[in-house]
Every structure is written in C-alpha cells, then in structure tokens.
Amino acid sequence: MMPVLGYWFGIAWLDAILRLAVIAGVMTVVVIFLTYAERKVIARVQQRLGPTRTGPAGLLQGVADALKLVLKEDLRPTTADRWVFELAPFMVFVPVFLTFVAVPFTRDLGVRFLSLGLFYIVAVSSLNIVGFIMAGWGSDNKYALLGGVRAAAQMISYEVPLVLTVLGVAMVASSLDIRVITERQDVVPYIVWQPLAFVVFIIAGLAEMNRTPFDIPVAESEVVGGPTVEYSGIRWSFFQLAEYSSLFVLSALGADLFLGGYIWPFGSNPPGWLQLILILVKTSFMILMIFWVRATFPRLRIDQLMSYCWKVLIPVTVAQLFFNGLVLVYRWPDILLLVFSGALLVGATAATAVAVRRAARRPRDAQAVRDRRLQYARGA
Amino acid sequence: MAEESAQSSPSAEVDDGVPELFQRSFPDVTFQAGRNAAGQAILSVDRKDAARVLRGCKEDPSLGFDYLRNLCGVDLEAQGIEVVYHLLNMRTKQNVAIKTVAPADDCWVEAITPFWPGANWHERETREMFGVEFVGHPDPRNLLLDEDMTIHPLLKAHPLADIELFQGVDVF
Amino acid sequence: MVADFDTIDININVGPQHPSTHGVFRMVLTVDGELVRDLDAVVGYLHRGAEKLLENQDYRQGIGIQDRTEYLAQFPAEQSYVMAAEKLGGFVVPERAEYVRVICVELNRIASHFMFMGAYGTDVGVFGTSFIYGFRERERVYRFFEELTGERMMYSYFRVGGLAWEVMDGFEEKARALLQELKRGINDINGLLTRNEIFIARTRHVGEISAERAIEYGLSGPVLRSTGVRWDVRKDEPYSVYDRFDFDVPVGEFGDCYDRYMVRLEEMRQAVRIVEQALDQMPKSGPIMPEKMPRMLRLPAGEVYVPVESARGEYGVYLVSRGGNHPWRCRVKSPCFTNLQALREMTVGEYVADSVVILGSIDLVLSEVDR
C-alpha cells in the first residue's frame, strides 16, 4: 500500500509530496476526532453527555470547532516579539508531525520505515520544547513566561525516563527498528517482559505531552493556559493540533513497543485488515487510558514533578536497564526480565505511596520550611 | 411596642463579672459598663486608653479576650464615630464589646493592628467607610473602595439616594 | 552553593479575571521563579455597599440583602440577621420554625461545602470531575430549596420571628430522600479526592497556619478548626435549637489545606446527622410565626452582636437600633473577610501553584468579603 504510493508514478518528489499530504490530512482528521472523543469520554466520566448537537451524536463538533478556529481573528499582542511569537506554533507542531513519519501502523502501512526509527522519534519529539519556550517568551506575558519555563524544565527532565524505557525495549528486542521490535512480539508482548517500562513510558509520555496530571505548563487554574495564553484562532489550533497528534503518535508508539502492535495475538503474519484493526484497538486503548487519567487526577506541582522524575523514575528505569543487561549478556532465562521489572514496578509504586503518606503524617515546622525556601531562592 | 404579647422582655441582666474583671485589671481606666440585648457586657472607654485596654485583652492571660470577633464603626453623628471591638474569650466563652468614641472634628483612634493582625482589614475598612484615622496602622490604604476615593460612604451625612450626583462629577 | 547570578522578582497579577480566584479577587504575587515572595490581596471589586443599604431598608427588606451578601450559604446569613432582630425585639421564635431553620441552614451548609469541594478539586487540577460532582449534589439541595421557598438562590425565607410560610407538603419525606442522595454524593467526592496521592501531596503541609496565629488573625470556621482549635459557634455558644442535637466538631491537626478539606468533608457528614435529628425531633405541626407579630416591625433602641456558624465560619451581624423600622447600623462580620487576611501569611514561602490551592482552601465568596 503506502510504501509504493509515490512510486506508482516513479517520481521521487511527487512521492515525498504525497506522503506529506497524507501526514497532514490523516493527522488533522485524527485530531478532530480525538478532541471529540476526549470530550465524550470525559463527559461520561463526569455524568454529562458531551457534544450531542453538531451532526449525528455530535460527531461533527470537532469539525465545527476547527472551522471556528480557522475563521477566528489571529491576534497578536502589540508588545509581543513578532517573529518568535508567530513562529512558535510551528516549532511546536512540526516536530510532532515529523514523529508521525516513523511510526509503523501495519507491516506495510506507514509513511517511512526507518531502521533507526525509535532513535529518530525520540530525537525529533524533544524538539518542540523550543517552540514552547518561544511561545512563552514571545508572548510578553508573565503567565506565558512562567508556563514556558515550566514546560522547558518538565519536558527536558521527562525526556530522560522516556528514552530509558524505550531503550529497555530496544535492548530486549536488540533493534531500534520499530517494525522489528513489533514483530518480535508475535508470542509475548513486551508489556509482559517490561511492565515497569510500560508504566513509566505512559507517565513520561503524559509529561511530554503536558497532559494531566502533568499539565503544569498549561495549568488552567494557575497559569491559565501557560505558553498558549496569548494565542487565538489558527495559531492556537496549532498547539491543539500538536497536543493531540503527539497523543496519537505516542499511543501508537506505545502500542507498537509494548502491546505487540499489529502482530500480537494473531501470530507472526495476520492479514492486513486484521493488522489495522489490531493497531487501532491498541492505540485506542492507550488513548482511552490517558483520557481516563485526565478526568480523574489532580495536578502535580513542579517541584514534586521534578523530584518524582529524578528520585523515582530515573533510578528505577536505570536499574531496569542494568538488569536487562545482566539477563541478556549472561543469557539468563527471559522470565527474569519480568521478575526484575515487575519487582521494580511494585517496589517503586509502594515506595512512592508510602513516602507520600508518611510525609503527610509527619508534622513539620511550616515557618522554617518557608524561610528556608525564601533564603535558598535568594541564593544565600 | 413592648406591649405586644409576642415579645418577651429582653434577656434579663446577667452577671458574668466581665466589667469588674476589666476594672480590676485596669484600675486607672474608667469604664462605662452596659449590656447589649443578648446580655453581653459593653465597656466604653476613653480613646486614649482604648489601645492599652485592647492590648491587655489580648496579652493578659487573666483577661484572655484574645479573639477579635468584629471591629466596626458606628456613626453617632454629632458625637463623632464610635469604634466597636467585639472580643471573645474562648476558654470562658465570655463576650465583651469595647467601645471608644472619636470626635468628628478630631477623628482618630490608635490602631491595634500592630499587635493584633486580625484587625488589619477591619481597621482599613472602618477608616475608608467612616474617615476614622487609625494612628499607627502599618498599611492605611483603602480596602474596598477605590484607592483615590475620599468620601466616606457609611457616614450618615453621606446620602444614599443622591449617589447619582457623585457619579461623573469630579468628586473623587 | 547556588549559582551567583542575579535574579529579579516579578509581579504577577492573579485576577481579577482568573479562573481560580473564585470571583473578582486579585492577588499581586511577587514571585522569584516559582516561589511566592510576597502577596498583596486586593478586594473590593464586588463592593455594593450592603451595609449602607441595610441601614436604609426596613428589617424585612434586609433579609433579602443578606441573601445577596452570602450567596452560597444564604440561610446562615439570613438566620444571623433575623436572630439579631429577634434578640433586639425580644421575640420568641416558635419551635417548629427553629427546626425548619436548622434544617435549612444545615442543608445549605452541605450545599456550600459541595461547591467548595468542586471548586477546590479544580484548583488542585482535576479536570472538572470534582466540579461536576459537587454541582450535581448542590443542585439537589437547591431544587429542594426551590420547592420550599420558590427561589433557587435568593431565598428570603426566614422572617423576624419565624418563617415566611409553611413548608411544602411532604417536607420531611423529601428531606429524608435528599439526605440519602447527599450521603452518596459525599462518598463520591470522598472517593475521588481524599485518598489520592497527588491530592495529598498537593494539599498536605501546604498553607499551614498555627493555632496561635489563627486566633490572632481571628480566623473562624473550618480554617480555624483545621488548626486544631475546637471552636464552633453552634456547639460553644448554642443558638436556635443546636443544643438539642448530638453532633461532633471535627478538627484538623496541622492547619494545612488538606485539613481544611477534611474538616469540611466531616462537617458535611455531621450536618447530615443534624438534619436527621432535626427531622426526628421537629414538631409535626404548630405555628411558624409568633402570634400577633406587628405588621411593620419597629425594634426598640439597643444593640446586639449575633454570630452564627456559617459554612465559611463565624457570620456575625452587629445590629444597632435607635428605634424605628430600620437599623441605625448593621455591620456584617463576614468570615471570609477575616480569613482572607491570613492569606498572605499562609502563602509567602510557598509555590505559585500552591497560592491558588491555598486561596481555594479558604473557600472564599467574594460578595461576602466585599459586601
């Protein structure tokens, strides 16, 4: 199907243009319906109906919203840094679209299959930090600035555990080609061998996407949308586009890496339509889980987010890599991968829960803590 | 109207010993004692003694009136502005209202905010509403009104119905 | 050990239009990065001169103004005002009216706390779920009140001396059915927030204030009780018929945001208990107004300060009468106004994200602060 799309005409540049058009088209449609799905899912969690009026069962709500955004006036604050402000949305959404290139949906369906696909995705996806900082700085708004700096700190920090988890999978599969990784899971998906990696992948992914409970940079109740606060109309919709595209790409990637993608549980070579259904079901599962998290969890604070990353996620993922290495080098039985990873997962979860509860019970001298913070921030 | 059968007489005079307690604690201050309709003690003091008495209320454990329930002004028109402090002793559950009067032409009382942080906004509000200057208040800005507003709306002299006159005219 | 480069503090205006200032409230935060260095609370955007209005309207009209002063816990505000007038005039309220008042006030307390739970969850970052849960339950109470009083929010149902009119048919059964639903609603909120690790991490040890400072600031209500001070006007200076009910006064331990939440949660359960007892004890029939109430109410000269335990704390009305049909002075001591003074002390030294949580934990109603 797809890999031969442009080559039907035998023209390389036409091929490239066609592929780009496919990305843009598919992504837009996907995003429109993801926003609809999110509103519906969250509405149901909250005992509401969600959109019902536009089109059958409200299905066209996303389309209507997209139209409205396109037609809206594109405002720019007079004091904003013009180029930085106007380019920021593109810097946010282009990297996300670029990651789409390397995600295989079925064995044959994908824009490009790269032998270093995993590496490519990890490298490209972290570029949009620049866009958030640009938006935060260029808006000339203190909320935006605060949000932009928060975004930078958070996304750089959470890049590390994200890379470490996909590295764990890559080690087990001994490949960086996502198609190869997926096809190694024809019998057992990697969520079984690397449960810790799966959980941390979702957590770090949520943080990368600025989604609840890590929506600190765009926190509605604190910084009122953060970097996007001054944007309107089409430029704002680019941020929205980027957010939901990365949600889709990350879910598809997670499905490929951990849930057996388009292969498991139907043997090594299911028919093409079945592959497509499989990947869509698994991606939807990931997306639903993320929506569910969004509907129920409060938001962390930036310092808690950081300490959670550096004190919990990175140590356990590094430990998991270490154990993976031991198992693979000494050719211990595969079940030990599960044992180590599972033990780390249970241990880290329990330790976090206990630590939070213990800190909650322990009295402390509030004034001393505040004074220390104030002093420390002064650089004394 | 007291002849109506639906009404009983106001609460009988209770003797909670609060006026005597204050007189013992401040022998050199003259208190004019009274009771309100709920039978709680009202003590009027001269404004030069007010801050001292209030500081005693807060810091003297034998008095123990360390909870400021309310602070407000009352316009007495010709006599000036009366500032009322409602205090509570949480242990003995006794209430007392300390009153002091600031004459209209020399309208100030001493602020209690320096030692009683809970009085801060109440004093600011009373100041802007009645024009009572709270001497020694650390932050005497307007609170509820515009920062450059100089009228004092809760004075009886300030009309309610004629407010339209003030709008659009450069009174402020 | 920290880098020696210079940093500057910036001022951030949070409000008056901001999603989490609960109305038109402004706080000027001076922040150093994420740390709050200073806070200046600016109130008054909703000042309508309620006290001046009260001075110029007769006692019956004043009840309506009390509703508008405290628009989330209207009944306690009305109660405080009519009780002050009753004390001045020496009216004896019929027992049945007192019970209906208690039921209304406690249901209103539950409704107000549900509103708090919802808004607080949103402050902490739950995407609307707690909000919808809270509003769903609050709406049940409001529907009940609408049937009782004809109004959804501005009830004007209490009168000096009693109640405006007899309760609707099936009052008791409807109230009991409502309580069953509210109990479920309380459990829903409890299940959503109370034991969530992120919620605990966000609110525990945030915005702490000690009991001594709380008393110095004159804090009241759940904010005071969260510091461990067991002071509840209903319990300690019983008014109305509160001395006939068996209920607990929940207190906190640390005086932080989590304790304030927990105190309110427990208060809702206690309010349910009170309403149940009130429904049991309530005389099934009887007058709701004293006989021979004067048609135009004129109160004798005098003054009285009547505090009641509103949903947010001690709501007091200081009524000064010089005879005649309207008060000479009516001071409304609103709990939020006093509690809000402590905001600066609670917030300085915490993080920006905490400032909205602390503000939310005070459960402020701006119309009551600004009056």
The domains found in chain C, sorted by start residue, are 49-370 (1.10.645.10)
Q: What are the backbone angles phi and psi of residue A131, rounded to the nearest 5°?
A: -60, -40
Contact C127 A294 (CB under 8 A): yes
Per-residue pLDDT tens digits of chain C, which is 371 residues long: 455 666 678 888 887 888 777 878 888 888 887 888 888 888 888 888 888 888 888 888 888 888 888 888 889 999 999 999 888 888 888 888 989 999 999 999 999 999 999 888 888 888 888 888 889 899 999 999 999 988 888 888 888 888 888 888 888 899 999 999 999 999 988 988 888 888 888 888 888 888 888 888 989 889 999 998 888 888 888 888 888 888 889 998 888 889 999 999 999 999 999 999 999 988 888 888 888 777 788 888 888 999 999 888 899 999 898 888 888 888 998 898 999 888 988 888 888 888 889 988 988 888 888 88
Q: Where are the alpha helices (DSSP H) in chain C?
A: 50-55, 59-69, 74-89, 95-124, 129-149, 171-189, 197-203, 211-217, 222-225, 233-236, 257-281, 335-341, 343-347, 352-362, 366-370
d(CA A369, CA C219): 23
**Which residues of chain A neighbour C4 with C-beta distances below 8 Å?**
379
* Residue C301, min C-alpha distance to chain B (Å): 10
CA torsion angle A36 A38 A42 A48 (round to 10): 0
Cβ–Cβ under 8 Å, residues C338 and B121 = yes
| Best A221, A367, A375 residue to mutate vs chain C (most C CBs within 10 Å) | A221
B4 has a pLDDT exceeding 60: no
What are the C-alpha distances in Å from C145 to residues B21, C70, C102, C139? 47, 16, 13, 10
> Hey, is C195 helix, strand or coil?
coil
> Hey, is C228 helix, strand or coil?
coil
Q: Where are the alpha helices (DSSP H) in chain A?
A: 12-45, 61-71, 82-101, 117-125, 128-138, 142-173, 178-183, 190-193, 195-208, 233-258, 272-296, 302-308, 314-329, 335-361, 366-378
Q: What are the backbone angles phi and psi of residue C262, rounded to the nearest 5°?
A: -65, -40
d(CA C2, CA A286): 41
d(CA A193, CA A331): 15
Size of chain C in residues: 371
Contact C12 A146 (CB under 8 A): yes
State residue C107's pLDDT score.
92
> Hey, is C62 helix, strand or coil?
helix
Q: pLDDT band for position A79 (50/70/90)?
A: confident
State residue C297's pLDDT score.
83
Nearest CA in chain C to B87: C218
* Type and span of the H or E element at B97: strand B94-102
More confident residue, A266 or C113: C113
Contact B93 C341 (CB under 8 A): no
When the pLDDT of each residue in chain A is averaged and rounded to a whole number, the result is 85
Cβ–Cβ under 8 Å, residues A213 and A296 = no
Contact A42 C128 (CB under 8 A): yes
A186: CB partners within 8 A, 6+ apart: A260, A263, A264, A267, A268
Q: Where are the alpha helices (DSSP H) in C204-256?
A: 211-217, 222-225, 233-236
State residue A221's pLDDT score.
78
Structure-block tokens of residue A288: 């639903």
What are the C-alpha distances in Å from C63 to residues A198, C81, C159, C164, C272? 60, 7, 8, 11, 26
d(CA A128, CA A95): 6
The DSSP-derived string for A117-159 is: HHHHHHHHHTTHHHHHHHHHHHTT-HHHHHHHHHHHHHHHHHH
d(CA C226, CA B107): 39
User: What separation, in Å, do the N-terminal and C-terminal C-alpha atoms of chain C show?
Assistant: 50
d(CA A370, CA A376): 10
What are the C-alpha distances in Å from A159 to residues A122, A125, A204, A259, C55? 8, 9, 7, 21, 64
| C-alpha closest to that of C237 among C153, C305, C336, C152 | C305
Contacts of residues A199-202 at CB distance under 8 Å and 24 or more positions apart, as own/partner, are A199/A345, A200/A161, A200/A162, A200/A164, A200/A165, A200/A313, A200/A316, A200/A317, A201/A162, A201/A165, A201/A166, A201/A254, A201/A257, A201/A258, A202/A254, A202/A286, A202/A289, A202/A290
Phi-psi region of C283 (alpha: psi -120 to 50; beta: other; left: phi over 0): beta
The residues with which C252 forms a beta bridge, in sequence order, are none
Burial class (CB in 10 A: 0-12, 13-18, 19+), C210: middle
| C-alpha closest to that of A291 among A120, A42, A94, A9 | A42
A256 has a pLDDT exceeding 60: yes
d(CA C162, CA B158): 34
Question: pLDDT digits over A171-181, tens only?
Answer: 888 888 888 88
Structure-block tokens of residue C35: 């740390």
* Residue A294, min C-alpha distance to chain C (Å): 7
State residue A8's pLDDT score.
56
**Which residues of chain C neighbour B142 with C-beta distances below 8 Å?**
44
State residue B3's pLDDT score.
36
State residue C144's pLDDT score.
92
Contact A374 C208 (CB under 8 A): no
State residue B165's pLDDT score.
57
Chain C, 28 to 67: residues with Cβ < 8 Å from chain A are: 31-35, 37
d(CA B117, CA A47): 45
Which of A6-20, A136-150, A267-281, C143-157 is predicted least confidently?
Answer: A6-20
Beta carbons within 10 angstroms of residue A380's beta carbon = 9
Instruction: Read off the pTM.
Output: 0.87
Q: What is the ipTM of this complex?
A: 0.85
What would the mean pLDDT of A89-107 be, rounded to a whole number? 86
Question: pLDDT digits over B118-169, tens only?
Answer: 888 999 889 888 888 888 888 888 888 888 877 888 888 877 655 555 565 5
Count CA atoms closer than 13 A to B88's CA, side-chain side: 24
Task: Show the domains of chain B with their CATH numbers.
Answer: 2-167 (3.30.460.80)
- Return the biggest CA–CA distance within chain B: 55
Pairing between strand C35-42 and C26-32? Answer: antiparallel
C99: CB partners within 8 A, 6+ apart: C241, C278, C281, C282, C283
Burial class (CB in 10 A: 0-12, 13-18, 19+), B78: exposed
CA torsion angle C346 C351 C357 C360 (round to 10): 50
Chain C, 9 to 48: residues with Cβ < 8 Å from chain B are: 43-44, 47
A261 has a pLDDT exceeding 60: yes
Phi-psi region of A37 (alpha: psi -120 to 50; beta: other; left: phi over 0): alpha
**Of the partner residues C7, C204, C349, the one whose CB lies closest to the CB of residue A370:** C349
**Of the partner residues B11, B122, B160, the one whose CB lies closest to the CB of residue C56:** B160
Q: Is the dihedral of CA A213, A217, A223, A224 positive or negative?
A: negative
d(CA C190, CA C130): 10
